[in-house]
Amino acid sequence: MTWLFLPILIAAALAAYVGGRGVARRRGDGQRSHSRPGQHGAYALIWTALPALLILLAASVFSAPIERQLTSSGAPEAVQQLEPFRRAAFFADARAVGAGRPAVQIWPAPYAELLPAEGQRAAHIALMLEIGAGTAAILAGLLGALFVFNQIRPGMRARNRVEGWIVGLLFVCSAVAILTTVGIIASLVYDSMRFFASVPIAEFLFGTQWSPQTAIRADQVGSTGAFGALPLFAGTFLIMLIAMTVAAPVGLFAAIYLSEYAGPVFRATVKPVLEILAGVPTVVYGFFAALTVGPTFRVFFNEIGALLVGGPLDGLGQYLMLVQNQMALVAGMVMGIMLIPFVSSLSDDIINAVPQSLRDGSYAMGATKSETVKRVLLPAALPGVAGAMLLAMSRAIGETMIVTMAAGLAARLTLNPLDTVTTVTVQIVTLLTGDQEFNSPKTLSAFGLGLTLFLVTLALNIIAQRIVQTYRQQYD
Amino acid sequence: MTDATVTPAIRAERLRAGLKRRYAREGRFRLYGLLAIGVAVGFLLLLLGRIIEQGHTAFYTHTVTVPVYMDPARVDRAYPQGTNFELLVAEQQLARLGVVDDAQSSKATEMRGLFSSELKFASAARIQNNPNLIGQTVPIAAPVSDDADLYFKGEVSRATPADQRRLSDEQIAWLDRMKASGLVTAHFNSGLFTRGDSTEPELAGVLGAVVGSALMLLVTAFVAIPLGVGAALYLEEFAPRGRITDLIEVNINNLAAVPSIIYGLLGLALFINWMHLPRASPLVGGLVLALMALPTIIIATRSSLKAVPPSIREAALAMGASKTQTVFHHTLPLAMPGVMTGAIISMAHALGETAPLLLIGMVSFIPGIPHSFGEPTGALPSLIYIWENASERAFHERTAAAILVLLAFMIVMNAAAIFLRRRFERRW
């Protein structure tokens, strides 16, 4: 809502620019001015718009939590005693009733009477906050304009000041990257801490039972839930392993062929194809895995099973007959295919970075191309290739859609590729989609999983980048 | 000395044999490389071929046009929406086919199952517009039900045992007779592109998701491109070498490799639970995708800024331009084609991103077409996920069709990027 002030702000900023330019022209008449009128105008624009913009930005970030705090702290005793989640629902309904709409939930005796009055109070607080933010923004703009218009004179170094502000603004842009990281860490750690308050870290990391279904409300009958994430880590690891078994050799060989054997025409046709493969959204891979690869594999294994039943391998046959569409093998293989272009383009860069002199030396000794690749290029490129593989592993661990659509939900501690397994990312999606109460351990456990995932992928990325960097420097 | 017994002839023979082995190894090695590329290319062809094969049938559909006698005893003049048109039509259709219904009207129920619910809405709308039609016979056109559509497309076969298909023998016979009498026509499925999502496959379309994705990308572009270009300009042109700059650079490289689902968690915690922005809205989706796209845009912009030769900067500075003027009047305009190419490619990537959208609530069923940035909406990739999960078989072909639509948008964006690069990029 605060952003309704934005058009006013833009108009004011434009007015400040035109005004500043005009004033500078008038005051600088006949004298030699340090900066051009337009630069004075830009300076006026910055001082008019920036303070107001900052206030609007702060208001849009902080007004929701402040509003929540104010409405609940002034509420009657009964409302304050509600759980945070229920309280939010109460105020949502209160505001609906205050605005003349029906309430979403049916509220019992003490709350039902409170609804209209509380709704009006909440709406009043929201309005006050908005008016407050708007007034503050307008005041800030006026003060800024007053400050800057007094300063305009021929000797003022408007250009340098404007440029200083521009550089500052660019710095803020790049600081957003840091803010994003801080935001990720803060949100993951904050909610994980709340989760670990009810489930000990050791139980989470080493427990072998994962069944996050808890009772939604305290009075409901239901299980208490178990939060041992080991089966999820095992499933993630298994699928990553299968994916890397596909992606590592295929990607590496493709890169070797492209950089050492392929002619320019072949390269120019195959590279775009690999780029297309890399650009296909993962949800498309997931669709393909779930509806084509999965059923094909199931039929294949079931038929083999049918052949084996009754023979010496009867047990295996029985097992194969029961294989389902969703298995680790399907998700892992399709993910491996998805990673091929990633591995091959990274390895391609790395192999190309090996100096030509090493190749030439090997050829001069009479080695064939494949001997050169195996005995000279790969050993020389080994650290870089290892780094590339680590990056691919980190991608495989964090990949979500393929496993969500093709791996399944059964949390099982197994290394059998034909079993249905589940992964960390699948569980995050499952826990956070569907009906949920935000503060239950079930929902919060998703943030615990997210934090684990973030830390593991971060570690892999940092190690990989280190390796690749040292490797690059070696030949620079 | 063993060498004494090895005559030159034997040595040459050994060498030849060794050479043969080595060349064979060389050939095999080369073959592995070709095989690897074959696997990748073959898989791409298989993937696309399979999706086209599954999806092409969704682009046409069947409409049935039935003459409806607007029985004055059954149609409510004041409130036509309340009339059970489906039953009315089914009974009239049964009478026309000469089928006698039983006391439980089970045949009428079966007949009703062949039409989509659009029949009811279309009839009610006709009566509402012109109440004088009551008592007359009016032709009403509506899509056939998803099962009937699949039958006409040949995906339900009579050969399947009756208990394993969703249409009874009788229903199939009725469909054949209706088709023979010319009531059923096949045509291009324009509804797929003009409707929002629906629980009934025959009435479900991608328009709502396409509009939702477009609104989201608009937010992403407005947030990520200025921020990303600004950050890249600072790091490449202004930043003093130092600890803070190093920290920012390491940060950006790591952010580029953070799994997308983590950005979904960030969006959920920050934008929805903390800032109380509307759930599943294009605003929140766009902001999350913007944070994700930011590192890619920064990296692309930096490399195209690096490609501008220093001589340009030096010339501008020598003519008395300030550092800022040099950057904004000379370096940035020259780097612009590269910047736009990188931006478009990262937007195309953002368009296909699914996982973070699921976490910010875009998994729920949203039937309408969004009109603003603040209301709940779907997006193309999340629609694909939702349809893939749907149990009706008719959704499978539509999922593949939605994928084709998504891929078409991505191809257009990438083609635009390639065009920009070819047309405007300068090499020094």
Q: For the segment B393-427, what is each residue's pLDDT rounded down to a tens digit?
A: 889 899 999 999 999 999 999 999 988 888 887 77
Segment A376-391, tens digit of pLDDT: 999 999 998 999 999 9
Q: Select from A135, A156, A177 the last residue of a domain.
A: A156
- Secondary structure of A390-433 as H, E, C letters: HHHHHHHHHCCHHHHHHCCCCCCCCCCCCCCCCCHHHHHHHHHC
Question: Which residue out of A287, A343, A438, A469 would a mutagenesis test of the B interface target, given it has the greatest number of B Cβ atoms within 10 Å?
Answer: A287
pTM of the model: 0.88
Average pLDDT over residues B341-370: 90
> For chain B, what is the HEC assignment?
CHHHHCCHHHHHHHHHHHHHHHHHHHHHHHHHHHHHHHHHHHHHHHHHHHHHHHHHHHHEEEEEEEEEECCCCCCCCCCHHHCCHHHHHHHHHHHHHCCCCCCCCHHHHHHHCCECCHHHHHHHHHHHHCHHHCCCEEEEEEEECHHHHHHHCCCCCCCCCHHHCCCCHHHHHHHHHHHHCCCEEEEECCHHHHCCCCCCHHHCCCHHHHHHHHHHHHHHHHHHHHHHHHHHHHHHHHCCCCHHHHHHHHHHHHHHCCCHHHHHHHHHHHHHHHCCCCCCCHHHHHHHHHHHHHHHHHHHHHHHHHCCCHHHHHHHHHCCCCHHHHHHHHHHHHHHHHHHHHHHHHHHHHHHCCHHHHHCCCCCCCCCCCCCCCCCCCCHHHHHHHHHHCCCCHHHHHHHHHHHHHHHHHHHHHHHHHHHHHHHCCCC
- The answer to whether A69 faces chain B, any CB pair under 8 Å, is no
Residue A230's Cα: distance from chain center in Å?
23
Minimum-distance CB partner of A283 among B50, B298, B384:
B384
Burial call A94-128: b when 16+ CB within 10 Å, e when fewer? bbebbeeeebeeebeeebeebbeebbebbeebbee
pLDDT in the model for residue A85: 65
Asked if residue A293 and residue A150 are part of one domain, the reply reads: no
Q: Of the given ranges (A227-241, A425-439, B237-251), which has the lowest mean pLDDT?
A: A425-439
- The one-character DSSP state at A29 is T
Residue B122: predicted pLDDT: 87
Rounded average pLDDT over B193-206:
89
CB atoms within 10 A of CB A374: 15
Q: Do A143 and A233 fall within a single domain?
A: no
| Same structural domain, A281 and A378 | yes
Are residues A148 and A235 located together in one domain of the fold?
A: no
Instruction: Name the residue among A177, A183, A371 with its Cβ closest to that of B231.
Output: A177
Q: Which domains does chain B have, with CATH numbers?
A: 59-189 (no CATH), 207-424 (1.10.3720.10)
Q: Are residues A140 and A240 in the same domain?
A: no
Q: What is the CATH number of the domain that holds A235?
A: 1.10.3720.10
The pLDDT assigned to A434 comes to: 67
Q: Which of A115-119, B43-47, B384-388 has the lowest mean pLDDT?
A: A115-119
User: Touching check for A23 and chain B: CB below 8 Å?
Assistant: no
Question: What is the rounded CA–CA span in Å between residue B205 and residue B349?
Answer: 23
Q: How confident is the model at residue B208 (pLDDT cuts 50, 70, 90)?
A: very high
Distance from CA of B80 to the nearest CA of A (A): 27
What is the structure's pLDDT at B408?
A: 95
Among the candidates A156, A191, A213, a domain finishes at A156
How far is Cα A54 from Cα A60, in angstroms, rounded to an integer? Answer: 10
Could you tell me which residue, A89 or A218, shows the higher pLDDT?
Answer: A89
Identify the residue whose tokens are 């392993």. Answer: A241
- Residues A302 and A449 occupy one common structural domain: yes
Q: Is a pLDDT exceeding 90 seen at residue A115?
A: no
Whether A189 maps to a domain, the answer reads no
pLDDT 10s digits, A291-309: 999 999 999 999 998 888 8
Q: Directed axis angle between helix A441-475 and helix B260-267, to 10°?
A: 140
For residue range B271-285, what is the model confidence (pLDDT) as tens digits?
988 888 888 899 999
Residue with the bigger pLDDT between B292 and B128: it is B292
What is residue A424's predicted lDDT score, i.e. its pLDDT? 94
* pLDDT score of B302 more than 80: yes
* Reported confidence tier of residue A79, pLDDT bands at 50, 70, 90: confident
Distance CA B220, CA B357 (A): 13
Q: Do B260 and A369 touch (CB under 8 A)?
A: no
| Residue A161 within a domain | no
Q: Containing domain of residue A109, as a range?
A: 2-156
What mean pLDDT do residues A101-115 have? 76
Query: What is the structure's pLDDT at B400?
Result: 94
ipTM of the complex: 0.90
Per-window interface: A 238-277 vs B, CB < 8 A: 249-254, 256-258, 261, 270, 273-274, 276-277
* Average per-residue pLDDT for chain A: 86
Query: What residues contact B383, with CB distance under 8 A and at least 6 apart?
Result: B197, B206, B208, B209, B402
**CA dist list (Å): A97 to A106, A109, A125, A127, B102:** 12, 16, 16, 16, 50
Both A129 and A255 in one domain: the answer is no
Taking an 8 Å cut-off on Cβ atoms, the answer to whether B248 and A178 are in contact is yes
Q: Do A170 and B353 touch (CB under 8 A)?
A: no
pLDDT band, very low/low/confident/very high, at B296 (cuts 50, 70, 90): very high
Residue A106 lies in a domain: yes
Please report the number of interchain residue pairs, chain A to chain B, with beta-carbon separation below 8 angstroms. 261
Q: Are strands B184-188 and B60-69 parallel, antiparallel or unpaired?
A: antiparallel
DSSP state of A226: E
pLDDT of A2 over the 70 cut: no
Are A126 and A232 found together in one domain? no
Share of chain B above pLDDT 70, in %: 99
Cβ–Cβ under 8 Å, residues A269 and A360: no
Residue B97 has pLDDT above 90, yes or no: no
Contact A390, A343 (CB under 8 A): no
In a domain, A203, yes or no: no
Do A230 and A106 lie in one domain? The reply is: no
Last residue of a domain, one of A130, A156, A182: A156
Residue A262 lies in a domain: yes
What is the percent of chain A where pLDDT is above 70?
A: 94
Per the domain annotation, does A50 fall within a domain? yes
Verify that A372 and A280 share a domain, yes or no.
yes
Q: Are B178 and B96 in contact (CB under 8 A)?
A: no
The domain tally of chain A equals 2
Between A210-219, A435-444, B318-327, the lowest mean confidence (pLDDT) is in A210-219
User: A120 in a domain, yes or no?
Assistant: yes
Alpha carbon distance, N-terminus to C-terminus of chain B: 64
Q: How many alpha carbons lie under 13 Å from residue A219 in its C-beta half-sphere?
A: 0
What pLDDT is attached to residue B4?
63
Residues A92 and A236 reside in one and the same domain: no
At A214, is the secondary structure helix, strand, or coil? coil
Tell me the C-alpha distance between A308 and A301, whole Å: 11
What's the pLDDT at A253? 96
Q: Which chain B residue has its CA at the smallest distance from A339's CA? A: B40
Mean per-residue pLDDT for B130-137?
A: 86
The answer to whether residue A39 scores a pLDDT higher than 50 is yes
Whose CA is closest to A34, among A165, A160, A150, A163? A160
Please tell me whether residues A389 and A281 are part of one structural domain. Answer: yes
Q: What is the pLDDT of residue A221?
A: 45
More confident residue, B84 or B340: B340
Residue with tokens 């026509």: B185
Inspect the interface and report whether the beta carbons of A177 and B255 lie closer than 8 Å: yes
In a domain, A209, yes or no: no
Whether the CB of A319 is below 8 Å from some CB of chain B: the reply is no
